[in-house]
Amino acid sequence: MDTAVIRFPAAAPADARFEPLREEALALYALPFNELLHRAQTVHRENFDARRVQRSTLLSIKTGGCPEDCGYCPQAARYHTGVESEALLDVAEVVEAARAAKAHGATRFCMGAAWRGPKQRDLAPVLEMVREVKALGLEACCTLGMLRDGQAEQLRDAGLDYYNHNLDTAPELYGDVITTRAYEDRLATLERVRGAGLKVCCGGIVGLGETREGRAGLLAQLACLDPQPESVPINDLVQVEGTPLHGTGKLPWVEFVRTIAVARILMPRSVVRLSAGRSAMSEAVQALCFLAGANSIFYGEKLLTTGNPDVARDDALFAALGLQPG
């Protein structure tokens, strides 16, 4: 990780469950691979239909120009990544994309905007997008950055089902990745989302250069959320030239699969989403992730600004594994 940045002080989790959960996660990581997968699959089958994988589509409704300095993100204005700042999409464009996503089997439509947080004038058209997506019979999810008081309630009243706001990494590592907002800012937005009665989509990124203890800390913090997130996206870092984390050593595939399995065991009733980084994974590794308890994917050609396996490839993989959308 880049050490030449000013950091917030490391966040110290106040929840007394955090360290015991981290120790539990580390013990699970240390299990023989087959034993860990067996335990994860057992937990998965106790809570879900193991044949079904939920499909979501993610659309960038406002791309680039973000004032934050997230070290992994090509949309940060301060990095030279080739991602140009674009205006908010028209509602009609979003509805067209949502209609196409539904036709290809997606059941949830996620809308992401590269903002630190939405101003009220920004939120008004997003509320209309949410209403139109819901009218199509899709679940609606948004990721818009930090929310102010009252904004989560407006999104709820428009029909939003899920709000995504990831923790990214373990509390003590957060300042190595992001310096423009504190860990507590993320937790405050999650509290606003929960307070409004919305479902929470909250996960993180692995492969940032963290140790296994760091990965265990991320999962422990997610498991500490009360209630636990309904949806937990696990992202494998997609390295983009021009970002500070470009050139970070690649996380071994077996460690990524272990992370999926530990997430499944620690958060047995959460939907665990195999998220960013999937385009670089072989079909065999993806199959192991499903065996480890992943039961959701992003479906379509792009995740915000980075590639994603195309629809035909995913359809073929589902057919080969006997998986069903749901």
Query: Which residues are tagged catalytic?
Result: 66, 70, 73, 110, 141, 201, 273
Query: Is the preceding peptide bond at 227 cis, omega within 30 degrees of 0?
Result: yes
Q: Strand pairing partners for 3? A: none
| Sign of the dihedral defined by the CA atoms of residues 302, 202, 168, 66, in that order | positive
- φ/ψ (deg, to 5) at 142: -130, 150
| Sign of the dihedral defined by the CA atoms of residues 174, 146, 149, 109, in that order | negative
CA–CA gap between residue 116 and residue 318 (Å, rounded): 36
- φ/ψ (deg, to 5) at 298: -85, 135
Are 199 and 230 a contacting pair, CB within 8 Å? yes
User: CA-CA distances (angstroms) from residue 322 to 51, 53, 108, 237, 298?
Assistant: 7, 11, 21, 28, 18
Listed residue (66, 110, 314, 130) closest to 203, CA to CA: 110
CA–CA gap between residue 82 and residue 75 (Å, rounded): 9
- For residue 116, the tally of other CB atoms under 10 A from its CB is 14
Q: Residue 235: which residues within 8 A CB-CB, separation 6 or more?
A: 166, 203, 204, 205, 206, 275, 276, 277
Which token pair is 280?
């670089």
Are 275 and 233 a contacting pair, CB within 8 Å? yes
CA–CA gap between residue 185 and residue 187 (Å, rounded): 5
264 residue type, one letter = R
CA–CA gap between residue 75 and residue 244 (Å, rounded): 12
